[in-house]
A and B are shown apart, each in its own frame.
Chain A
Amino acid sequence: MTKSLTLTRRTLLAGAAATTSLIAAPSILRAQSGPLKVGVLLPRSGAQAGIGQDCQRGVDIAGPILKGLGYPDLQIINADTETSVDVARSRAERLISEGAQLLVGAFDSGQSTAIAQVAEQKGVPFVINIAAAPPITEQGYKFVFRNFPTAPMILGDAFANQKELFETAGLAPKSAVLLHVNDTFGTSMQQGVAGVLPKFNLSYKIVEQIAYDGTARDLSVEISKAKATNAEVLLLVSRLNDAILLTREMVKQRWSPMAVMSMGPGWYEDQYLKTLGKLGDGPISFVPWYDPNKKVSKLMVEALAKHSPEVNPNTNHVYTFEALMIAADAFKRAGSTDPKALADAIRTTNITDNVSIGSGIQFDAKGQNDKLKNAAIQNRGGKLVTVAPKVASDAKADLPMTAYDKR
């Protein structure tokens, strides 16, 4: 038996209403009350897995601390970007379709750029924990916010701190070689060096810039090339695994520059310190850091010591924690999970009781926190000491670095 299909005006209206409600469903879901659903995107596997897992510690300790500070609950939804820009984009889309009302992530500039495009398109706020490529907050985005210094901000502070360190040590190196990863972050930093370095009148000239693949299996050629320049200072923009490989190669190729200075991650990470032991001592990293004198910093350090006793607090924990703090603060003030209300609340953020160095968390018209300051930290005996700026330091820099064959 067959039944003929007829389309009446009533059926059509009912269908249209059903379709409209389906299309509107995500925004209705996003505006529901209850804890704020925060999608946290991190490179939990792939080449940046070690750092992604380290950022996760910042997520793990955030809940109880934020609750103690009077912030509302957050419901965390984790996602793995697999250290891939394409995966980061698709995971961001999936998180939003699963009901995430705010996104946080993603450690890497390339991955964060992809997520920012998705967040802006879908109208969901995105708080970047770590990513330094300047263009991310130069696009006129309304839903993207970054509580992390841009490449020129990091470089400016790095060169100012280098000048202070060399002058204090009575050293005036004549030449430097820059080794940098060829990803979005590394290239941004390399491009920034040419513009920022001349302003600081440092004693050295950069004699060669060497770009390399951060996922390479062997970095012996890179070190051979850098060693051949006879540079006194090795400047670096790296990740974690490559930082370990580069150090091993320097030891094997019997090259100990006067100073090993990193303007990015990798060289202060716990995995670096543990893997290399005494050979991990000496490098100085110029990084966005925490202010040990702030009340919330002490809470964060205590919580991390309980959560992971073997891990030193670092940039990954600080900025991932603060990204969640920004989300909770905006949720508290907006009183709603509506994405637009959340974005408006983030825009007017003014958190002074925070962790990072600087006057606190505020965003400019572009969604960038331009109040952040960086420190110089040195690896020493498996721990990290702050060696510059003088006002925030707790140790004197070991410069020139002890040669690898004298340890």
Chain B
Amino acid sequence: MPIDIYLNVAVSGLLTGLVYGLMALGLSVIFGVVRVVNFAHGEMMTIAMYLAVLAFSVLGLDPLVMMVPIAAVLFVFGYALQAGLIGPFINKPEHMQFILLVAVAVILVNVQLIVFGPDARGVQTAYSYDSFAVGKLIIDATKVYAALAALTVSAALFVFFRFTEVGKAIRACADNYTGALVVGLDVRRLYALTFGIGAACVGAAGAMMVVIIDVTPSLGPAYTLLAFVIVITGGLGSMPGALLGGVLIGMTEAMAGLLFSPSAKTMFAFAILVLVLLFRPQGIMGKRAA
């Protein structure tokens, strides 16, 4: 097989992996601070995808332009979900949190089925079928735009957590819950803010994802599972780990499809997960539990 085919597939896997990474980043942010595993993560992404489809079909607005407004809507949704529903369960046993979020996921899938029906919906932008030719490389334009947006959002998130007062306060909550309470931080509000930020990440990822694939309500659970595979591989709670995990899974799926059988590519992604769990249970960039 010519070498350019390997390069094409590798580049495609890398770009898809970056968008996967942004989607999983939200899950990692939420778990890293609030210590709640969001089982409705993929379903929240499909909400964002449907919002992008609606904005495009009703108002003619490009999903990449709508990325920030959709992220804002998901931020409000995430904030309200944490403040109104998940907050009271923070100190309850973990299985109660799991069941609560699984219930939220089931409700979201069924509401989407009722509102939008089971058919796949997508957007046809002016660049939907564009590709860039670089020598023998043919690169999917939609994936390039989505990957660039993923890198931008990730960088903004890094700056927020590293250099802003609120970001530092959130990190303080994650590092030492009791300490944060002692110094007078409003932990409940910061938790809601964090959940909102995680939801905004997945909202931005959804707006980008809809230019690559069509959305159906059944996509949510599949993406929740994918997000788990990515963050566990990269390291649960680690933001760079989520991006790295996304790239690793995206590249693994692509290269396994080319070198072995395309129908087995998901199996290879899970094989990576099993290897990580066996040899580095905390994930590639995760911290070992004390």
> Which A residues lie at the B interface, using CB under 8 A?
44-47, 49-50, 52-53, 182, 210-213, 215-222, 224-225, 227-228, 240-241, 244-245, 248, 251-254, 271, 275, 277, 279
* A47 contacts B218, C-beta separation under 8 Å: yes
* Residues of A contacting B120 in the complex (Cβ-Cβ under 8 angstroms): 50, 240-241, 244, 271
* B119 contacts A210, C-beta separation under 8 Å: no
* A210 contacts B118, C-beta separation under 8 Å: no
Say yes or no: A49-B266 contact (C-beta < 8 A), given A211-B261, A221-B9, A224-B8. no
Say yes or no: A217-B263 contact (C-beta < 8 A), given A50-B118, A224-B258. no
**What CA separation (Å) do A70 and B140 show in the bound complex?**
57
* Residues of B contacting A46 in the complex (Cβ-Cβ under 8 angstroms): 118, 218
Chain B 34-89 interface residues, beta-carbon cutoff 8 Å to A: none
CB within 8 Å: A-B pair count: 103
**What CA separation (Å) do A216 and B217 show in the bound complex?**
15
**What CA separation (Å) do A244 and B262 show in the bound complex?**
17
* B257 contacts A271, C-beta separation under 8 Å: no
* Residues of B contacting A215 in the complex (Cβ-Cβ under 8 angstroms): 222
Say yes or no: A53-B9 contact (C-beta < 8 A), given A212-B263, A213-B262, A253-B138. no
Q: Is B129 an interface residue (CB 8 A)?
A: yes
Binds A, one of B154-162, B195-203, B208-216, B237-245: B208-216
CB distance from B17 to the nearest CB of A (A): 11
* A50 contacts B138, C-beta separation under 8 Å: no
* B118 contacts A248, C-beta separation under 8 Å: no
CB-nearest residue of chain A relative to B256?
A221
**What CA separation (Å) do A248 and B129 show in the bound complex?**
7
* B213 contacts A217, C-beta separation under 8 Å: yes
Say yes or no: A222-B257 contact (C-beta < 8 A), given A49-B118, A210-B262, A213-B263. yes
Say yes or no: A211-B263 contact (C-beta < 8 A), given A49-B216, A244-B214, A252-B131. yes
Instruction: Pick the residue among A47, A216, A221, A241 that contacts B12 (CB under 8 A).
Output: A221
* A49 contacts B265, C-beta separation under 8 Å: no
CB-nearest residue of chain B relative to A251?
B129
* Residues of B contacting A244 in the complex (Cβ-Cβ under 8 angstroms): 120, 214
**What CA separation (Å) do A221 and B11 show in the bound complex?**
11
Instruction: Give the number of chain B interface residues (Cβ < 8 Å).
Output: 40
Instruction: Pick the residue among B133, B140, B222, B263 that contacts A182 (CB under 8 A).
Output: B263
CB distance from B209 to the nearest CB of A (A): 9
Chain B 1-50 interface residues, beta-carbon cutoff 8 Å to A: 1-2, 5, 8-9, 12-13, 16
8 contacts between A and B (CB under 8 A): A47-B218, A53-B117, A218-B253, A225-B262, A228-B2, A251-B129, A253-B131, A279-B129
**What CA separation (Å) do A52 and B120 show in the bound complex?**
13
Say yes or no: A53-B129 contact (C-beta < 8 A), given A47-B218, A220-B9. no
* A252 contacts B138, C-beta separation under 8 Å: yes
* A228 contacts B263, C-beta separation under 8 Å: no
Say yes or no: A254-B257 contact (C-beta < 8 A), given A212-B263, A213-B262, A244-B120. no
Instruction: Pick the residue among A45, A212, A227 that contacts B118 (CB under 8 A).
Output: A45
CB distance from B130 to the nearest CB of A (A): 8
* Residues of A contacting B118 in the complex (Cβ-Cβ under 8 angstroms): 44-46, 49-50, 52-53
**What CA separation (Å) do A212 and B260 show in the bound complex?**
11
Instruction: Pick the residue among B122, B130, B216 that contacts A275 (CB under 8 A).
Output: B122
* Residues of B contacting A277 in the complex (Cβ-Cβ under 8 angstroms): 124
Instruction: Pick the residue among B119, B129, B261 that contacts A49 (CB under 8 A).
Output: B119
Instruction: Pick the residue among B2, B138, B212, B265 that contacts A254 (CB under 8 A).
Output: B138
CB-nearest residue of chain A relative to B130?
A252
CB distance from A310 to the nearest CB of B (A): 13
